[in-house]
Amino acid sequence: VSAQARQSRMPAMLRISKLNLVRLRSVAVSRSSLTARGWARGCSDSEAEREPEVVTAGGNKPTLADAEAMPREIWQYPNNALVYMATRGDSDASEERMRRDIMFVHKCSWDEAEPFLNEMKVESRRRFLLTKLPYRFGIFASVSAALASFPLCFHYGTICKFNDMFVTTDVPDAKDLETWLEVGSWSWNWMEPPLGQLSFVLLCLSFARNQMQNIGLRPYTDWWMQRRANRLEQKFPLYNKSIVNDFARGDWLRQNE
């Protein structure tokens, strides 16, 4: 081949090599994106690379294949997703994670793990009614006080009865009690001190609770949840302690089944 012929072929060869380089880069990008999607679904790198790539419409919006592959039940989630959700307080993920640990320990199926899980639920929910009684009382007391504050401040009949029983202050003239706002200005003379003091006490208690949490001191809720978790760990020593701990904390927030 003459030198002139070799020089004429050089631009074409360069164009071909550049095109191959672009193709290699696109393949590498598709493999890395496929691996990332497979990791998010709980697959290994080799398994992810064997999966067919799902092409999204317009490069962003999901396709029908994406929608069909989406998990819909908690038992369809991969292990790494359950760990992430359970460590952040998701009660359903904590229960499913506990079930899978039971399957691992007893070498049983998902359905066969149900009796073991129910046994843990019974032990976890012992004294639930008693331990949640302070919270129920607090809910009832706060809602009742909030509703009672309106007639105690603005209803003339209620205010007069309350005044006769507890305050015994002079009743203003009728012309000064013609509207509900005038009635409220009269009752506010004795309603302001207890309401203001109670609000200040609650503010101080809330601030104290935040400071206790900042230095690791556990208020009643955290203390009792940790106590329940320790009891379950001692009752079921075969299972992973961290999984049992997350299950006990998550089960505290679940409704009684």
Put simply, whether the predicted model's pTM sits higher than 0.85 gets the answer: no
Which pLDDT value is given to residue 89? 82
Residue 52 to residues 35, 38, 59, 82: CA-CA distances in angstroms? 11, 11, 16, 25
Paired tokens of 34: 């496929």
- Determine how many CB atoms are found less than 10 A away from the CB of residue 70: 9
Q: Phi/psi at 13 (nearest 5 deg)? A: -65, -40
Which pLDDT value is given to residue 129? 80
CB under 8 Å to 176, separation ≥6 — which residues? 182, 186
Which pLDDT value is given to residue 40? 42
Q: For the chain (length 257 residues), average pLDDT per consecutive 10?
A: 47 44 40 41 45 51 89 91 88 92 94 93 84 88 93 92 91 90 92 92 92 82 84 91 89 66
Work out the widest C-alpha separation in the chain, in whole angstroms. Answer: 123
Q: Phi/psi at 4 (nearest 5 deg)? A: -65, -35
Which pLDDT value is given to residue 58? 52
Which pLDDT value is given to residue 255? 56
CA distance 186 to 171: 8
